[in-house]
Structure 1
Amino acid sequence: MLNLFNTILEDIAAEPLHLEPQRFGLVTACDGGLLEACGLSVPVGAMCRVSHGRNVTLQAEVIGFRNGRTMMMLLGDSVMLRPGARVWPEGHPGLLPVGEAYLGRAVDGEGLPIDNGGPIHARSEWPAGGVRTGALDRAPVRHAFDTGVRALNALTTFGTG
């Protein structure tokens, strides 16, 4: 009987203890790779972590809202995902890690290395949509340049400034 409890106690001891309060939501529906969660207040484009059994999590990206629920696209397999699974917001919404650590590296769509070169430690973040400047704050166009495509040159003038 004690052996049964020893394995459970070892599993509990292996889990990190987080005492700070965290906001989370619950999965209410799953249709293929589309998840619905309630109780989350995150913007479109935010990445979330979905609990998926013991010590296993999946990634999901917020793609919209419907009837007070958050719609997410699951980045992984939905096998064994249950209603009531917890969903936590992760990272900073709309910001991507950037830095010289990415130079010369091969990464996947999530920015994780695929070249067996070890983890990437980026220290800075940049908005996914870039930084927009006003039209009057930009330098004026000084020189037109040839694109090499006559149709583009005739219909649109490209320039540098």
Structure 2
Amino acid sequence: MKITNACAALLSNYEVMALLDERQNIQIELQRNDASIEYPENLRTIQFEVTEYLKTSPCSTQTPAQLKDFLDALKPFKLTRAERLQILNLRPKSAVEIYLIIEECEERFSEDDLENMLNIIITTLPRDDDEVEEEEAEEGEEGEPMEQYD
């Protein structure tokens, strides 16, 4: 990935993670070839911390194809670039979360529009933790018997 103009575009979390991974791999390769090359410890720490954080976010399971499908599917809603980016990065799971992301949401979109957006988000940007949440919800519905302590 090559950034041609640092101030020209907003980056998604997925793009930041990919860029950091690429930079770290280049740094490692350069250090293998020339042991005298050293990178500032602060830079390495920041790269590590940001990468670790992003691995716990929705972007860790996203692919370029999913991003393209997601952005194509949201075109009819005429969202701003910043709104699309926030939805992509945060991957909201409820209409309430969408209301917090989209400016003047209730004036711009109906409840059906919000449901359609949620369906697009869920189908185009699947996450590993969705399965975990579904399992937890099912366990809660089953109602495990409570033990009594004497």
Fold shared per TM-score above 0.5? no
Q: Which has the higher contact order (CA 8 A, sep 6+)?
A: 2
TM-score, scaled relative to structure 2: 0.24
Q: Name whichever structure is richer in helix by fraction.
A: 2
TM-score, scaled relative to structure 1: 0.23
**Higher-Rg member (1/2):** 1
